[in-house]
Structure 1
Amino acid sequence: MTALTLPAYAQLSDADEVALSDLFRRGTPPNTLRAWERDLAYIAAWKMAAFGRPLAWPEEEKVALRFILDHAQDLAGKPGPAQDVAQELIAIGLRVALACPAPATLDRRIASWQAFHRMRNLASPFAAPLVQQARQKARRANARPHAPKSPRPVTRDMLESLLATCDDSHRGIRDRAMLMLAFASGGRRRSEVTALNVEDIGRDDFRAKGLLWVRLLETKTTRKDQAPKLPLKGRAARAVMHWLEVTGLREGPLFRPVSKSDRPLPRRLASDALRTILRHRLRSAGLPEDYATPHGLRAGFLTQAALDGAPLAAAMKLSLHRSAVQAQKYYADVEISENPATDLLGD
């Protein structure tokens, strides 16, 4: 597949590149930067198609309002300026369909637009009362049931089924260590697992306590100067140590590709490798490869913590959730199913 070539007006200008290269670029996680760049390309293309002009800084309120209105309705079967703009965006590969985008997608693009205003120390047009009101109404009008990031949480029983497919080859030893670390250290995101280096695994307490310390240099909720150290115990710690012992790794990427001849290669796994590995293990366990996603390991950790009666605050210290409301959702699903009121009619 050839790379998509965007028209000039959908690409970052020199001024935008300068803004991204300053404090925001150095102090923002790479995934967030990539999302900002994609969203700004979309917004710039949309404004050129809708108004025939490039983005302005600060942007006009009428432009912000039109952006909300154009993205708060299903444009299929509705000929007009909004549909014409959407068709142009579809033609250059920046929009998929005429259907109304999910409210979360609209919120993310607006958040990116606001972030670029903050970079320039400018007031955002989305702070205007009329624009805020339109945004709230659009969110309510297009609200959708929450779709989980994984069809199912990977709780302990499912994880055990996956681990049972891991043999004693280098690939099996690696996959076992990755899956156990991702689950047992608090439900790590896939990018956090593949970003780990050998130097991030503290082994001083392993011989005496069977304990490893996993240092996360950067996560979605922490910065490099806040790098948390998370404990890894028992079988999970032994699995990681086994991987280190059989490979003899001393530095560099912790988890690496394994060749067809079962030889670890001297490079880092791709950031999405955990998804590929999970799909392979699901198939090997006799399950559909879309039975769960890597986020299922994170959801599974919190769900299992709730099933085992671990306090929410204790689980959050490992998962590194900043929002108790977000983490509580996993506990709420368990608690309501165990509520005695659900058994009022008996079996």
Structure 2
Amino acid sequence: MPVPATPPMLSEADHEALTDLYVRGTPENTLRAYERDLIYITAWKAARFGAALEWPEREDVALAFILDHARDLRDAPEDDRPRLVAEELIARGLRRGLECPAPSTLDRRIASWRAFHRMRNLPNPFEAPLVRQARAKARRAAARAPAPKSKNPITREVLMRMLDTCRGSVRDCRDRAILLLGWASGGRRRSEIAGLMREDVDLREFEPKGVAWISLVETKTTQKGETPRLVLKGRAARALVHWIEVAGIEEGPLFRPVSRADRPLKRRLTPEAIHQIVRRRLELAGYPRGFASPHGLRSGFLTQAALDGAPIQAAMRLSLHRSMAQAQRYYDDVELTDNPATDLLD
């Protein structure tokens, strides 16, 4: 990603320290998003204008970026320039199709582009009145209901069927611990699960109380040092302790790849590996391909909390949702006839 600009008064060592500060002070997920967006933006401009990015970028380039991504190109003439550019990006695996991208996708890429300008201490072209107005109009024109991150929630019933596919191997032991921790600790994101270290697990209360405490360094909604500890109890705590004992993990990454010989390796699992584990267990449990994504653990936890009548505030203490309105959506998705409040009289 672009590195911070070097003011004339900074030495080379200070510039390196500033760059390191930016990297350490930016969440890993954001860094990965910056990298993907920079690759896309660079490829788009090269295909559209035959030129490299400029710092600061020109306003006409920013406006063209908005216009190219604010309409459906499937019906555009075959020689339409934005369509030709889109087809080139599709061929390179950088774009999915010719249809209008989701507004959230365009918003994120523009936000990254703006951030790159801030890093270089430069004005960005998206602040120009005409460009700002075009972005507002594009957002309104493309407004649509947000698509769920997981097609279906992984409720308790679904989770139990997935756990039934975990038998006695080391791999099964690991997957059982991942699924139960990811669900029971409030619906953890796959990046949060993959990022856990053995040092983040406190088992001092496991023997007397059957409780394990989990410390997340940071989440999407919390900063380092501000994330409260999360608790695992009962079956979820036992599954986690069993995995730690079977794998002999004393330090380092908590969840690791397992070899074909059914032996845990030393490196950590990636977030993509968590995705594959969830998908595989769903398919083994008899669910169709694409039934749910890893975010289904998060949506499933909140959906089950609503079904069981748990107060939303209690659920949010584990899910760490910052917005009541956002968490409320999962409660609203529960069928009215399944809402415990409908049984108050009987």
- Relative to the length of structure 1, the TM-score reads 0.85
Identity of aligned residues (%): 62
Work out whether residues 196 and 255 of structure 1, in 8 Å CA contact, stay in contact via their aligned partners in 2: yes
1:147-226 matches, cutoff 5 A: 147-226=147-226
Q: Secondary structure at the match of 2:154?
A: coil
CA shift, 1:140, in A, is 2.3
Per-residue CA shift, 1:58-94, capped at 9, x if unaligned? 3333322221111111223333333343344445443
Aligned residues: 330
| Structure 1: runs of 5+ lacking an equivalent | 1-11, 343-347
Higher alpha-carbon deviation: 54-63 or 212-221: 54-63
Counterpart for residue 21 of structure 2: 23
> C-alpha separation between the residues in 2 aligned to 1:14 and 1:230?
35
Q: Secondary structure at the match of 2:322?
A: coil
2:136 counterpart of 1:123: no
Work out whether residues 2 and 116 of structure 2, in 8 Å CA contact, stay in contact via their aligned partners in 1: no
CA shift, 1:282, in A, is 1.8
Per-residue CA shift, 1:30-52, capped at 9, x if unaligned? 22112112212222333344344
Cα distance change on mapping 1:74 and 1:162 into 2, 3 Å: same
Work out whether residues 298 and 319 of structure 2, in 8 Å CA contact, stay in contact via their aligned partners in 1: yes
Cα distance change on mapping 1:104 and 1:224 into 2, 3 Å: same
Counterpart for residue 67 of structure 2: 69
Cα distance change on mapping 1:298 and 1:339 into 2, 3 Å: closer
> C-alpha separation between the residues in 2 aligned to 1:239 and 1:297?
17
Counterpart for residue 97 of structure 2: 97
CA shift, 1:109, in A, is 0.8
Higher alpha-carbon deviation: 207-216 or 256-265: 256-265
CA shift, 1:183, in A, is 0.3
Work out whether residues 256 and 268 of structure 2, in 8 Å CA contact, stay in contact via their aligned partners in 1: yes
CA shift, 1:16, in A, is 8.4
The code of the aligned residue for 1:292 comes to: A
Higher alpha-carbon deviation: 319-328 or 181-190: 319-328
> C-alpha separation between the residues in 1 aligned to 2:94 and 2:134?
24
The code of the aligned residue for 1:60 comes to: R
2:67 counterpart of 1:58: no
Per-residue CA shift, 1:128-171, capped at 9, x if unaligned? 33322211221222233422111110011111111122112222
> C-alpha separation between the residues in 1 aligned to 2:48 and 2:111?
20
Q: Secondary structure at the match of 1:225?
A: coil
Work out whether residues 55 and 117 of structure 2, in 8 Å CA contact, stay in contact via their aligned partners in 1: yes
Q: Secondary structure at the match of 2:183?
A: helix
Cα distance change on mapping 1:269 and 1:133 into 2, 3 Å: same
1:230-269 matches, cutoff 5 A: 230-269=230-269
CA shift, 1:322, in A, is 2.1
Q: Secondary structure at the match of 2:225?
A: helix
| Structure 2: runs of 5+ lacking an equivalent | 7-14
Work out whether residues 217 and 228 of structure 1, in 8 Å CA contact, stay in contact via their aligned partners in 2: no
Per-residue CA shift, 1:287-310, capped at 9, x if unaligned? 224221111001101111111222
Per-residue CA shift, 1:193-216, capped at 9, x if unaligned? 122121111011112221111011
Please point out which of 18, 32, 35 is paired with 2:33: 35
Work out whether residues 185 and 231 of structure 1, in 8 Å CA contact, stay in contact via their aligned partners in 2: yes
Cα distance change on mapping 1:291 and 1:14 into 2, 3 Å: closer
Q: CA RMSD in A?
A: 2.7
